[in-house]
Amino acid sequence: MTKETQPISTQEFTDKISLHRESLEEKIYNSLPPKIIELIKRTRNKTRQTLGINPENFVVILGEQTYGLNECPKVIGKRIFAKGLEKHGIQPIELFAVYDIASSEGAIYRMQIPHPNSPDGFISLNILKGWEQKKNVATVGFRPPTLEELSKALSTITSLYGKPKSDNLKEYLGKFYLTQSNYANANIEILREFLRQIGLQIATWASDGVLDTLIAKNGGMEVMLYLWPKLIEEAKKHFVDGVRIPEIQEAPFFLYHLEGCYGRMLTKFTNFDSNKELQIDSQVFSKCLHCGFSETTTPQEIIESGRIITWRAIPRVIAYSTLGIADGHITGGGSRYNKVAKPTIERLGLPYFPITNMNLDGGIFVYESSACKKGGKYKEKSDQLVKEGKVAMADLILSIGVRQLREVVEETLNNGVTTNTKLVFERTLPKNSQIIEF
C-alpha cells in the first residue's frame, strides 16, 4: 500500500490536530516579531468568536463550492469524515466559496448525468443560463434559474429516471431557486437541506467573503501584508504544476465590483518597492475582469469600509492555518495549492495544519444509477463514471433517495469512519418513489 491509500481514522486525525495545536504557539513565537504575534492572536480569537466558535476548541475546516446538487458525491465523503471527527470533540466548519467565478469550475453551471446511450456515457445539463457571457462574475452575482429555465434544463432527466422522481427533484430545487435572490446562496441552501435530511449537516458555516473579510478586519490583513513578499519568494521554490504563484506586486486578495457587475477585480500594489515593507496604506490598483472598471484604494480603506475581499488560494490556506482559524483541513482530494502552501509556510518556520482527504479510488458511494438500469450502447462507460463518483450528486439522490442514504450514513458513522470508508447501497429506488423531502 502506498502512503496515499493508507487509511486514516478519525482518531488518528484527531491526534494529528492535537499535536499541531500544541506546537502552534511555539512556532509563531520563534519566528515572528511581537507586534505580528499579537495580531495573529487577535485575529484568531475575534474571528472565532464572531463565528460562534470557542477560541480553545479544535476546529477542522472543509471548503465547498456553490454547485448545489451538481456537485460530485465525493463532497459528501468530506462530511462523513467531519461528522466522525465530531465524536472526538472536533468542531467542523463548512466554508462556501460564493465568490468563485463562473468559469473556474464546470460544475457551477453544469449538472453531469449518466446516460447509457450517449457516446461519452453522460450528458451535461446547463443549469446556469448565460454564464458564458459572465465568466468572470462571482456566483453570488447570478440570479437563480426561473422555474421555466429549470424545467427546460432538467427535461431530459424525465426519460432517464421517470416522471415522479424528476418532478420531485424539480420541485425541491425550484423551492430554493424561487425564494433566494442569487444562485450561490440558493445552492448553499439546496446542499445544506439535503445534508440535513441524510444526517450530515454541519452546524457552523460561513461564506468565503464573510470569513476572509472578518480575518482581514481582525488583524489578518496586517499579518498578510507583513508575510506576503517572504511568502511569494519562498513559494516560487515549491512550484507545482497547475498552481499559479502570484507576483509579489499582486495583492494577496481579490476585490469585487459589487456596485456594478459582481465581476472579480484583479489587484496590484502600485509603486511596489522590494526594499520597503508593505503597509496598511499602500496603494492598490484594481480592475474588474468583467467590465474593465478600475479604481485605486488601500487595504486600510478596504477594511474601514467593510468591503468584501477574498484571499487568493495560497494566502487563504495560510490565513486559515497559520492564524489558527482552523486546526485541520479536510479536502476532497484536489486542493493542489496545499502542495505549495505547506512547504512554503514551513520553510518560514510557521505552522501548517494537518490535511486529510477521502480516498477517492473507485468513488465513495457504491450504487447502481437508475439512469443506467435500462441499459444502452454505452452503459459500461456510464456505469464506470458512476462508480468513480464523477457524475452529479443529483444522480445519487434520484437513484437511492434520502431515506436509504440516511440509514447507511447513520450505520457508517456508528461503525467508525476512515478515509477509506465506502457506502454501499443494495437497492435502487423504484420508479414512483419520493427521492427527497421538501
Contact residues for Zn ion (CB under 5 A)?
257, 260-261, 263, 288, 290-291, 293
Residue of 397, 65, 331 lying closest to 198 (CA atoms): 397
Residue of 37, 42, 35 lying closest to 27 (CA atoms): 37
Q: Among all chains, which residue has been given the C-alpha cell 495560497?
A: 314
Which amino acid makes up residue 112? Q
Considering the complex, state which of residue 286 and residue 357 has its C-beta at the smaller distance from Zn ion.
286
Which run of H or of E encompasses 167? helix 163-179
CB of 209 to Zn ion, least distance (A): 16
| SS3 label, residue 68 | helix
SS3 sequence, 175-211? HHHHHCCCHHHHHHHHHHHHHHHCCCCCCEEEEHHHH
CB of 247 to Zn ion, least distance (A): 22
CB of 279 to Zn ion, least distance (A): 27
How crowded is residue 330: how many other Cβ atoms within 10 Å of its Cβ? 25
Considering the complex, state which of residue 84 and residue 263 has its C-beta at the smaller distance from Zn ion.
263
Cα–chain center distance at 219: 24
Considering the complex, state which of residue 256 and residue 378 has its C-beta at the smaller distance from Zn ion.
256
Considering the complex, state which of residue 287 and residue 387 has its C-beta at the smaller distance from Zn ion.
287
CB of 134 to Zn ion, least distance (A): 10
Considering the complex, state which of residue 21 and residue 290 has its C-beta at the smaller distance from Zn ion.
290
CB of 87 to Zn ion, least distance (A): 46
How far apart CA 55 and CA 45 sit, in angstroms, is 5
CB of 217 to Zn ion, least distance (A): 24
Considering the complex, state which of residue 134 and residue 165 has its C-beta at the smaller distance from Zn ion.
134
Residue of 344, 394, 397 lying closest to 113 (CA atoms): 394
Which amino acid makes up residue 296? T
